[in-house]
Structure 1
Amino acid sequence: MSALLQCVNECRQCAGLFRLGRDVEAALTMVDVFDEAQRLLLTAPQDVQLKWTQVLTHMLACQERQDWLGLADFMEYELIELLENVQPEGE
């Protein structure tokens, strides 16, 4: 499984944990997901990196106000869309 596909799957799993109210477990997983997404998006075009920064800002704002469903939506839809639009080198 490619790193990109694995990160997309982890986004979905983490979003599911937030939706189930397992916010502590999800928040721990989220750190790893964000680290991997950051690594994958480092070589993306400038506009994609800007969008990543905006999405990350929104997700952290959701976390701060404990809006777990909003955070889950950003992870499952916005972040996955960003990741899916990035072609890893060599593919």
Structure 2
Amino acid sequence: MSQLQGLVDDARECARLFRLGRDVEAGLAMVALIESAQPLVERMPGDAPSSWNTLLALMLSEQQTQNWISLADYLEYEWVQLLTADQSI
């Protein structure tokens, strides 16, 4: 399994945890996910790093307001789309 596919799978699992209301466990998983993805995103071309920062700000805002469903959607859809743009996984 590639690193990218692992990140996508982890993001989807983290989203699932948020949807199940397991916010503490999901929050810890999200921190690990962000730390793992950061080096990959920094090497991406174009405006990916800027989009990454915007997405992180939105996700952290949702986490602060405890909007777990919206946060899960960001992880499962926006995060995955950002990581897989111009990729085939």
TM-score (norm 2): 0.93
Separation in 2, partners of 1:76, 1:24: 18
Separation in 2, partners of 1:42, 1:4: 14
Separation in 1, partners of 2:55, 2:3: 20
Measured against aligned partners, the alpha-carbon deviations of 1:20-79 in whole angstroms (never above 9, x if no partner) come to 000010001000111112121010124111100000000000000000111000000000
Aligned-residue identity in percent = 47
Which ranges of structure 2 fall in alignment gaps of 5 or more residues? none
- Residue in 2 that maps onto 1:12: 12
Separation in 1, partners of 2:69, 2:80: 16
Paired residues in the alignment total 87
List aligned pairs for 1:10-89, cutoff 5 A.
10-85=10-85, 87=87
Runs of 4 or more off by more than 6 Å in structure 1? none
TM-score (norm 1): 0.91
CA RMSD of aligned residues (A): 1.0
